Structure 1
Amino acid sequence: MDAFRLWLLAAGRGFQILAALVAGGGGFYLFLQFGASDGIDAFDILRAGLIFISTAWLAIGASGAFLGLLTRAPKQPETSGPLSTRTVVLMPMYNEDPRETFARLAAMDESLQATGYGASFDIAILSDTRDDARAAQEWVWFHHLLDVRGGHGRMFYRRRDENSGKKAGNIESFIATSGAAYDFAVILDADSLMEGETIVALARRMEAAPDMGLIQTLPQIVNAKSRFGRGQQFAAAFHSPVFARGQAMLQGRTGPFWGHNAITRVNAFAESCGLPVLPGKAPFGGHILSHDYVEAALLARNNWTVRLDDDLGGSYEEGPENIVDHAKRDRRWCQGNLQHSKLILAPGLKGWSRFTFLQGILAYISPLFWLAFIIASILAPLTATNQPNYYPNEYWQFPVLPPDQTSKAIGLAVGVIGLLIMPKMLVWLKAALTGRTRGFGGAGLAGLSALAELLSSSLMAPVFLMYQTRSVIQVLMGRDGGWPPNNRGDGRLNLRDAWAASNWISLTGIVGLIAAIWLTPALVPWLLPVGLPMIAAPLIIMWSSRPSRTALFSVPQERAQPPIVTRHQAICDEWAAHPAQ
């Protein structure tokens, strides 16, 4: 079986690389054919190279989804009977609402105790809060948690004087000072929720696999209210399991770690995951922001298995409710992923860990390739020696390409769009055939939701492209984005706030389309799907932040709310009515 899995792993990785080369090569060829009528110059080759990189990147994601559709999560062994190990549940905090956060811990502790194995688990709150007034509230709510749950002796709270290393340093500090008391540690975020049975199952799977360094669950988004949030929630519930299955299949023993909703072996983490302080100043130097993938790579380097168990349910988190909050969080991830350029050649890393670093870097660099291609295409007439005649008579009419170029352009566009759409449509088809769509309101509603998610994500894509481009440019210019706190709760934005956050995107879209009309009018129809959403960015941001009141984007967690989510909300309501003193 091990030999077969190794063969399957090699075949999957080979398929992904081949798909990227074929798609990228096809895009390169079609684009050069597209420009062949007026001769191929260096500028055409540059644009074809940008198409190759961008299309190959899309093919990597599409092939991962295809592999996820063809594979199933293997049944993982678990121990039975009493637990022979001790586990600590770690909740890092950074300027969070203490009532909401501690209510999550109360719900999880209640769920753990209901399993009958609660005595094997402790809870530790690791505060990095910088605001003294909020820290005082944390202390009050912690004692309230102790009293409500009878947590004396098994629930602990500490606040660091300095938040060196951010979240990674917070956890590392706990491991160094208190980790020896535990075999395993479940790592959460402040918005995490996990069913007690899921936490127990994680501990049992760690017990059954002595070489296991870390098991990552697949968190599902809950409590989304806005149009943007519910779209993200649907995509996470409907599409992400397939994409994650493909990722898990490709990564094998060097699987992903997303920094939360995971369990790690404490001694493995302690001996492997001491993170270096990168040389130089931020943003490329200093403490590593995207620490999770680095920790997974360091565990794998020491021959510990890192695995994604996407078959486990009962793992939840919350997501941003608007595009602006998502972009702020994405700015930190961008800086952290680009820092990995200093680690990609670190000694002893597994080959796939290096490839994972490269994928993370490309995830933020690839929008620059698309933007560079658009800009280069608009400016192409300034460098062309033989200008094509887009206006066949003396009267102005809608610009057109010659028929042979039009067919090739359409072929290129269809190929690119197919790489974006086909995987998600195949996910819907398989879900409809296997009955998985029942939890999403049936095959019809799930199909409409998938289509709506495709349309809305396509509408927002140019806005995200601009935010990611700005993030990369800021990092390359040496600007440190730091670690801003997350915004929780209602993310509704009015038009003034949306305009303040995105007016530069609108102005860029206006300038780009005017330049295209002046220099390359035949490209204007092809640029409208990018340019118009950029111009309308404030409206899109405002509209998508408003509450969603449609049956679209229905997910199983809404139709039958998980017990842990229900209990957390009940505790929040109870504590709001009777605040801690």
Structure 2
Amino acid sequence: MDERLITGRAGWLRLLTLGFAAAVSLTAGYAFLDLIGGNRPVFLDWVRTILLVLTGFWLVWGGTIGLLGALSPKPKRLLDLTRPEGKTAVLVPIYNEDPVETFARIAAMNRHIVAKGLGEHFHFAILSDTTSLEVAAEEVSEFERLIVEPEAPGRIFYRRRERNIGRKAGNIEDFIAHSGAAYDYAIILDADSLMEADTMLAMVRRMDSDPRLGLLQTVPVVIAARTLFGRMMAYSSAYFSRYFARGAALLQGEDGPYWGHNAIVRVRAFASCCGLPVLSGKPPYGGHILSHDYVEAALLARGGWKVEVDPGLGGSFEQGPENLIEYAKRDRRWCQGNLQHRRLIAAPGLKFWSRFTFVQGIMAYLASPLWLLLMAASLLSSLIPDSGGDRWGATPWIIGVGVLTTLLLPKFAIALRGAIDGTNAAFGGWRIIPSVLSEIVISTIMAPVLLGFQSRAVFQILFGMDGGWPATERDARAVPLRTAFSASWWIVLTALAALVFMAYAGPAFLPWLLPVAGPALLAPFVIWATARGGDRPVSSWLFSTANERAPSPIIVEANTILASWRATEPVLTTSLAEVAVHA
């Protein structure tokens, strides 16, 4: 066992939280087994108990992180804004994105950097893996508009790869290999990322002052959401995630996470440690690693570098999916990438916490089909005379109360903490009450639909189906009902079959099946209703975030540039043939 597991504050917190989650889940399993099996539990009773302990452990673990964050001191945004020592490349990998939006954000960040007199310390590199010639032509045209921005020549670069080997990780690796030697650090963004100049400067100064720091991850906040689904996710990101991130940061210590964007890396460390292997065999388990960020963080930690997350930095933003279909599409890629990590858990030299992070990421997706198996086993037990059954018929209600308590307790604790430390005032004061309650209700309704999508993703991967790396439609908003039905008809049929089966075989269990099967039966309407607001933003009264009420200057700048550029579309000076030749 890695001795770092039990040394330092992070080590002891890990032991305490892991022990607490294990104790709670095992105690619940023992009580559950006694309830359903009595003195003579049968095989099916043991199966249900094991499934409950497995799924319960990860639920309690996640809830404990939220509670730990709610109880932890509020981090102060301490920004060292003295002049940096190193030179930094701001990398923006793009893949069939909207060039106008992406390049407008780059223009905004560049203007703020230049306004602070830091242009010579920060260069921007747009790394295109775009496969569409039409989009590539737009990229070239938008770059011609971007290159006339303040101090842009010689500081803002664009290149497009003809073959996107290794996808995003390969794109960044290509830059590091060919141009990395010119820079001390690299701030890695996504196409939808936005970051304040002060945040960038503070990250570089952290690197300057700590020669062991290999990677520093910010906690980005979702912005620019318009639909009900998007606004709810943005609210959760801005309000709840900061506390969960605090709790996670305390546990991770120097073996922290990397989420693939809105982070800074030391180029020398990244180049020496983060060459990714191509896994043997065919996808979905073989080939290029999709969830490369977790692996790169583990490799940096193995190389002796510190990998940290700082929830107090602030000034870090991103956009998120605007509907359940786009969310599920992105989640499918993450699922495949995380399940690939099973082949890396035993890799030599990794820290214990890196291995645990791999397991945690795998279980984030396996939990959904395990919950389905637990429900199926419980239904089956009600039909088998020889099974232990369920004394008093209390099993489903006990499971439901336990799950709800584990999920809701951290959120209520965060809301209470927000009232104490003044966070709630930035979110509209008393408005957090209807917002938090609405988030709980809507996320509960969506949960069976997401469980269906995640379970299908796991089963597809187990049966060898490769999901690939689909381009993200960041502007996909309103979803027609027909499209929603086309994406979720199989969830409807599954729920309908379960209800018909129980109505015939075990009608007494219908009441506890309805909270899960009901929303699943209405999956198309859930997808359609939560995607409302695509053409016109939904009311800002609900899910009002701090950045809506008092937008960061970088957000205002980016929106102003975008509006100006949209109003004056550039003339395409590059033909598709030229793009194809010079890719």
SS in 2 for 1:168: helix
Taking a change above 3 Å as real, the CA distance of residues 317 and 525 of structure 1, as seen in their structure-2 partners, is same
Residues 214 and 300 in structure 2, CA contact (< 8 A), matched pair in contact too = yes
Distance 2:504 2:40 in 1: 22
Corresponding position: 1:483 with 2:483: no
Distance 1:198 1:578 in 2: 31
Corresponding position: 1:493 with 2:479: yes
The letter of the residue matching 1:196 is A
Distance 2:403 2:152 in 1: 55
Q: 2:272 aligns to what? A: 271
Distance 1:439 1:129 in 2: 39
Distance 2:97 2:200 in 1: 23
Residues 114 and 196 in structure 1, CA contact (< 8 A), matched pair in contact too = no
Distance 1:331 1:143 in 2: 36
Distance 1:45 1:301 in 2: 39
Taking a change above 3 Å as real, the CA distance of residues 508 and 409 of structure 1, as seen in their structure-2 partners, is closer
SS in 1 for 2:159: strand
Q: 1:396 aligns to what? A: none
Residues 222 and 317 in structure 1, CA contact (< 8 A), matched pair in contact too = yes
Taking a change above 3 Å as real, the CA distance of residues 375 and 362 of structure 1, as seen in their structure-2 partners, is same
Distance 1:147 1:530 in 2: 55
Distance 1:505 1:38 in 2: 38
Taking a change above 3 Å as real, the CA distance of residues 496 and 138 of structure 1, as seen in their structure-2 partners, is same
Measured after TM superposition, the shift of residue 381 of structure 1 is 3.8
The letter of the residue matching 1:366 is A
Taking a change above 3 Å as real, the CA distance of residues 553 and 259 of structure 1, as seen in their structure-2 partners, is same
Distance 1:81 1:313 in 2: 18
Taking a change above 3 Å as real, the CA distance of residues 28 and 151 of structure 1, as seen in their structure-2 partners, is same
Distance 2:560 2:140 in 1: 22
Among candidates 554, 559, 563, match of residue 553 of structure 2: 563
SS in 2 for 1:148: coil
TM-score w.r.t. length of structure 1: 0.94
SS in 1 for 2:203: helix
Residues 241 and 310 in structure 1, CA contact (< 8 A), matched pair in contact too = yes
Distance 1:560 1:176 in 2: 41
Measured after TM superposition, the shift of residue 383 of structure 1 is 3.5
Corresponding position: 1:312 with 2:313: yes
Distance 1:24 1:379 in 2: 23
1:332-359 per-residue CA deviation (whole Å, 9 max, x = no partner) reads 0000000000101000000000000000
Residues 227 and 546 in structure 1, CA contact (< 8 A), matched pair in contact too = yes
1:24-70 per-residue CA deviation (whole Å, 9 max, x = no partner) reads 11331232233236952101110111111111110110111122122
Measured after TM superposition, the shift of residue 413 of structure 1 is 2.9
SS in 2 for 1:152: coil
Residues 38 and 387 in structure 1, CA contact (< 8 A), matched pair in contact too = no
SS in 2 for 1:383: coil
Corresponding position: 1:521 with 2:493: no
Residue range with higher mean Cα deviation, 548-557 or 274-283: 548-557
Among candidates 549, 553, 568, match of residue 543 of structure 2: 553
Distance 1:462 1:411 in 2: 18
How many residue pairs match? The answer is 563
The letter of the residue matching 1:216 is Q
Measured after TM superposition, the shift of residue 561 of structure 1 is 1.4
SS in 1 for 2:130: coil
Residues 381 and 387 in structure 2, CA contact (< 8 A), matched pair in contact too = no
SS in 2 for 1:478: coil
Q: 1:367 aligns to what? A: 368
Corresponding position: 1:541 with 2:527: yes
The letter of the residue matching 1:162 is R
The letter of the residue matching 1:447 is I
1:232-278 per-residue CA deviation (whole Å, 9 max, x = no partner) reads 00100110011011111111101010000000000000000000000
TM-score w.r.t. length of structure 2: 0.94
Measured after TM superposition, the shift of residue 459 of structure 1 is 0.5
Q: 2:263 aligns to what? A: 262
The aligned runs of 1:387-402 (5 Å cut-off) are: none
Distance 1:180 1:524 in 2: 64
Q: 1:155 aligns to what? A: 156
Alignment root-mean-square deviation, CA: 1.8
Measured after TM superposition, the shift of residue 97 of structure 1 is 1.0
Distance 1:54 1:386 in 2: 22
Measured after TM superposition, the shift of residue 21 of structure 1 is 1.2
Residues 379 and 519 in structure 1, CA contact (< 8 A), matched pair in contact too = no
Distance 1:41 1:18 in 2: 28
Corresponding position: 1:352 with 2:353: yes
1:416-462 per-residue CA deviation (whole Å, 9 max, x = no partner) reads 211011001000011012211001110x2112211110111110000
Distance 1:323 1:413 in 2: 24
Corresponding position: 1:471 with 2:457: yes
The letter of the residue matching 1:113 is V
Distance 1:48 1:386 in 2: 13
The aligned runs of 1:331-346 (5 Å cut-off) are: 331-346=332-347
SS in 1 for 2:92: strand
What is the aligned-residue identity percentage? 47
SS in 2 for 1:239: helix
Residue range with higher mean Cα deviation, 328-337 or 139-148: 139-148
SS in 2 for 1:40: coil
Corresponding position: 1:59 with 2:45: no
Among candidates 494, 503, 508, match of residue 494 of structure 2: 508
Distance 2:326 2:379 in 1: 32
Taking a change above 3 Å as real, the CA distance of residues 386 and 416 of structure 1, as seen in their structure-2 partners, is closer
SS in 2 for 1:515: helix
Distance 1:97 1:536 in 2: 33
Corresponding position: 1:385 with 2:381: no
Taking a change above 3 Å as real, the CA distance of residues 15 and 159 of structure 1, as seen in their structure-2 partners, is same
Distance 2:78 2:527 in 1: 46
Distance 2:354 2:47 in 1: 30
Q: 1:579 aligns to what? A: 569
SS in 1 for 2:149: helix
Distance 2:515 2:219 in 1: 33
Corresponding position: 1:284 with 2:264: no
Residues 226 and 546 in structure 1, CA contact (< 8 A), matched pair in contact too = yes
Residues 79 and 313 in structure 2, CA contact (< 8 A), matched pair in contact too = no
Q: 1:207 aligns to what? A: 208
The aligned runs of 1:433-472 (5 Å cut-off) are: 433-442=420-429, 444-472=430-458
The aligned runs of 1:55-134 (5 Å cut-off) are: 55-72=56-73, 81-134=82-135
1:109-132 per-residue CA deviation (whole Å, 9 max, x = no partner) reads 011112222221100000000112
Residues 78 and 205 in structure 1, CA contact (< 8 A), matched pair in contact too = no
* Structure 1 gap segments, 5+ residues each: 389-400
